[in-house]
Structure 1
Amino acid sequence: MTEHVNTGFERGTDGPKVILAGIDGSDSSLRAVAYAAGLARRQNALLALVYVQPVMAAGASLGAPVAEATGEVAEEIVTGIREAAERLKGIFDVRWEFHTFRGDPYAGLVSAAQELTADAVVVGASEQAGHRIVGSVAVRLVKAGRWPVTVVP
């Protein structure tokens, strides 16, 4: 009789260990973060907050102002998260990290989920009307089928 030892990692067997939430400062992304924080707290998982810093096309990037602006957005998001975490300390504690990735939102979230070995991804529903036709980041993540994806309205 041989004994089988499972040495492989299998997603979703013991609940999520890393829950990734995409954040861009929009109302829907902030609701997604709140939802993901609740999941992370209940599952004792790490909440990985990811801001994808846009990369401008070569013709559009005429210097540092765009990079500085997106860097400022990231700093504002981190400051807001830290302030909220401090206000909730002792009431609603959750382990969290903030990460910035560069690229378009879909590719950035995919890279983040792979690099951080996310077990689940939570994003806000797109607030742009055109995405109903072309497909939002959330729809593309769901279609990729690599992680359970929760879309928060």
Structure 2
Amino acid sequence: MTEQHPHQFERGTDGPKVIVVGVDGSDSSFRAAAYAGGLARRQHALLAVVYVQPVLAAGAALGVSVAETTDEIAESLVSEIREASERVKDIYDVRWEFHTFRGDPFNGLVTAADELTADAVVVGASEQAGHRIVGSVAVRLVKAGRWPVTVVP
């Protein structure tokens, strides 16, 4: 005879602990960040905001300092996120971190999600027409099938 234990409900242990959102300065990425922020707030999860700094050999060949430019973008994104979180700090309490990774957006987000042990990934829909043919970062993340992926229009 097997002993049965009554099932006990565990409050607050289900749901995501870390939500990764990719931002690149586009309108759709800011909408994704807002959506992910709402999810993180409701789930009491950590919001990991990730910017993937592109490595562009073509820019370097033209004499443009790509690293400096992408560092400036990252600093600008952090500043915008801080300002937004200050505006709502008395209304919403969201724990967040900002991370930068170098590389292409897909591999950068995969690395971020793996290293940060993401439970979910949120990205904005691609605004580039060519992605309908080649496949956007969002589609590639969904096809990877490693995390639930939410694509925000």
Partner of 1:39: 39
Deviation at 1:60, TM superposition (A): 4.5
Q: Any unmatched runs of 5+ in structure 1?
A: 3-12
Partner of 2:101: 101
The one-letter amino acid of 1:106's match is F
TM-score (norm 1): 0.88
SS at match of 1:34: helix
Partner of 1:8: none
1:7-30 per-position Cα deviation (integer Å, ceiling 9, x unaligned):
xxxxxx821000000000100000
Q: Which has the larger radius of gyration?
A: 2
Q: Any unmatched runs of 5+ in structure 2?
A: 3-12
SS at match of 2:19: strand
Write the distance in 1 (CA, Å) between the matches of 2:67 and 2:25: 16
Alignment of 1:4-153 (within 5 A): 14-57=14-57, 60-62=59-61, 65-153=65-153
SS at match of 2:65: helix
SS at match of 2:86: helix
Number of aligned residue pairs: 143
SS at match of 2:56: coil
TM-score (norm 2): 0.88
Paired-residue identity, %? 79
The one-letter amino acid of 1:122's match is V
1:4-56 per-position Cα deviation (integer Å, ceiling 9, x unaligned):
xxxxxxxxx82100000000010000000000000000000000000000012
